Amino acid sequence: MNASKYITPLTISIAGVFATALALALVYFLLIKKTQAVLSTQTGIYNQYVQYEGPQELKSANDKVTQATVAKQLVQDKWTQIQTSRDPVIDYSNVMNAWSQYIAELNFHLAPSIEQWMPSTGIRPTQPITTPAPPADPNAVISKNPIVIPLNAGSPIQVVGTFPQILHHVAAWNNFNRIVLIDKLTLAGISPWVTGSYTATVYEFPLNGTTPGITVPSGGGGGGGGGYSGQMSSGPPMNQLPPGR
């Protein structure tokens, strides 16, 4: 049976996966800025016309400003929760500290997390997953806000399994301890075993990202890149049930 028969349900299901991942990655840029714009607009209207309004109009204007303020706070609280649970501490207020924290994130936190987490999804990559090497220049770290980390240097990650297993695996990235955007998912092969291919990009939002500390004289060197050693595999055992079944 050719895997192409699953194209329609796959497209619908993966769209939901992408929507969740994208919402996490872009909540700051879209929701916070949008609610801030609404608040600014309502406050501006209020300040412009407040001296001309009657009691009823004044109450309505006050209510709109209050609603916009509450909406902005709710989005900000959601963003703070995401940062607390999924962002490592990389503080740009001190450049050398930020550089050290970024090196530790790549080599001692992100890479080992992927290695430990991958088997829990029921699928292993067919080749090692790599993280980039830290920059040799500490100032290069604070030039990025947010920090964008393409896994495998942007090359596709490939996994082999049944259609339900691959779908479960891709959706499981939403539960990883970092904000990850999954993109360009494709399937190839003949069922029951098919190969899933996709790109994965980690987004990290540093502290004091808009007000970094003073740059330092360049020098030194970054450590080597981390990675998930993985094992080559032609697929899960034939008698293995899909995860969650």
Q: CA 96 to CA 138: how far, in whole Å? A: 6
102-116 confidence digits (pLDDT tens) = 999 999 999 999 999
Within a domain: residue 121? Answer: yes
- 244 lies in a domain? no
| Within-domain flag for 237 | no
- Let me know if residue 18 belongs to a domain: yes
CATH number for the domain spanning 178: value is 3.30.70.60
User: Does residue 11 surpass a pLDDT of 70?
Assistant: no
19 against 238, higher pLDDT: 19
Would you say residue 136 lies in a domain? yes
Q: For 132-163, what is each residue's pLDDT tens digit?
A: 999 999 999 999 999 999 999 999 999 999 98
Region 51-77 average pLDDT: 75
More confident residue, 82 or 197: 197
Question: Does any domain span residue 239?
Answer: no
Q: Which bin fits 153, alpha (ψ -120 to 50), beta or left (φ > 0)?
A: left
Among all chains, which residue has been given the structure tokens 């029951």? 192
Range of the domain at 120: 3-228
State pTM to two decimals.
0.67
**Is residue 177 in a domain?**
yes
| Residue 190, pLDDT score | 86
Q: What is the pLDDT of residues 172-200, one digit of tens each?
A: 998 899 999 888 898 998 888 999 999 99
On whether residue 74 sits in a domain, the answer given is: yes
The domain tally of the chain equals: 1
